[in-house]
Structure 1
C-alpha cells in the first residue's frame, strides 16, 4: 500500500494521503489539511497504454481509478503495468527494427521469417527503384564519374537524419511531451535544426571537395547543394510522417524504421541526380 485515498460522502475522489505523512504530520492534523488535492487519476475505460504513459510521465508508484462521475473504484500500481510497459517498449523497438509482428527468439522459423520478410522485400524494391533512377543518368556518370563516389554519402545521410528526426518525435508522442496537434510547431522547430545541420554538413563536404577537385569542378558544389537539400527533406519528412500517423491512430513507431530510411534513400538519390544534371 502506497497511499490512502480520500473520498467524500458520495464516494468521489477528493485527494490522496501518502502514508509517509502519517509520520511527518502531527497527529492532531486533519486529513484535509495534509492531503494532496485533485490527484492524478485514470478512468475505468482508460486504455492500458494511457495508464502506462501517465504513470511514467508523473513518476507515480500508484494511481487511483475512478468511474465516469469521479467515484473511486480501485487503484493500479506500477507493478501492475510494468509488464505492459515492457511489452510496449519491445513492440515499438521491433517496429523500428523492421519487424512486422511481435516475435521471440523461441518462435518457429516460419513465424520469424514472416515477421522479417515484408520490410526486406520493400527494401529490395526500394533498392531497385534507386538503381532505376541511377540508370536514367548514365550520361552524367560518363561525364562526371566522380559523382558516383558520393552515392553512399547521400543515401546514408538522408536515412540517418530522417531516423533521428522521427525517433525524437515518436519519443515525444510516447511520453506526451508532444501532441499530434502541434505538427506545424514541431515542423517549424525541426526546420531550424535541419537548416543548421544541413549548412554545417554541406560546408564541410564543400571544403573537402574544394581541396580535392578544385572550386570549378561540378562535384564540388553539386554534392554540397544536394546534401543540403537531402538533409532538409529528410528532417522534415521524418518529423511529418510520425505526426501524421499519430493523427490517423497508427502506431508512429513504424516511422522510425525502414520506411523512413527507404523513402529518404529514394528521394535523396533523385534529388542528387537531378541537381547534378542541372548544374553539369
Structure 2
C-alpha cells in the first residue's frame, strides 16, 4: 500500500522509486530522485539510498528563504549542541523486567505519545535501582524537557513534553532528551515549535534506518536542521501557542493533583511528582 500524493488516499500500487530509478539509469535517463554521490563520501555504515536523498533538506532550505523565516538562520542540532545553545542526552537505561516493581515510574518509548509523557502506574522500579541508572540521587531531568524515541518506534522524531512533577522518572536508554543550553535565547517551547515544523519533521525520513525489523536513528538525528531565531522576542512570539497550551495544562494538572491528594476519595491517576514518590516510600516504611 502507498499513498496517492494528490488525494492522500491509500492505493494498492507499489511506489518503488528505487526500481524506477534503476531502470531509468539503464536507459541513460535522469530522474528527480537520482543523486550522484562520490564513492569517497559513501560511509561504510550508511549505504542506504534514502540517506543521500536531499529533497527533504532542499525543501527546508527553500522555505527558509521565504518571508516567513526572515529573522531566522538555520543550524543543525549538532552545531547547536557544540555551541552550547542546546543540550542533548539519552535516556538512563533499561532495567530488567524483574526489577520493575517499586515507586519510580519507568518510561518506555511507547509511553511517549500525543505530545506528553504518559506514565504507566503499573510500570515502576525501586528508588535504589533508579538511582543506579541515574548515577546519583536525581534523574537530572527538568520540567518542559522535550523527548522523543531514538529507536524501535514509528514515532521517532515526534517530540513530547515532560511536565512539571514528572522530573523524577527513569527513562529507557532509547529516548532522546533535548533542552535549551546556557547560550540559548529561546526556551523549550520554541524548541518544540521548531522540531514540529513539517519542514523539520520531514528531514527525519532521511536519517531513520531499519535495523533488522526495528527503526533506528542513531546519532544521525544530529544532522537535522532547524530554524534558529535571531533574537529572543521572535522566539517567544512564534512559540507562544505552544507555551500557553502546556503551561495551562501544567497548571490544571497541579490543581487537580492537589484536589485528589487533599480529598483522598478518588481512584484517579494524574501523574507522579517527586513528593508523591517520597510519600509512597514513607507509607511503605511505616
TM-score interval (norm. to shorter): under 0.3
| TM-score of the two chains, using structure 1 as the length reference | 0.25
Structure showing the higher helix proportion among its residues: 1
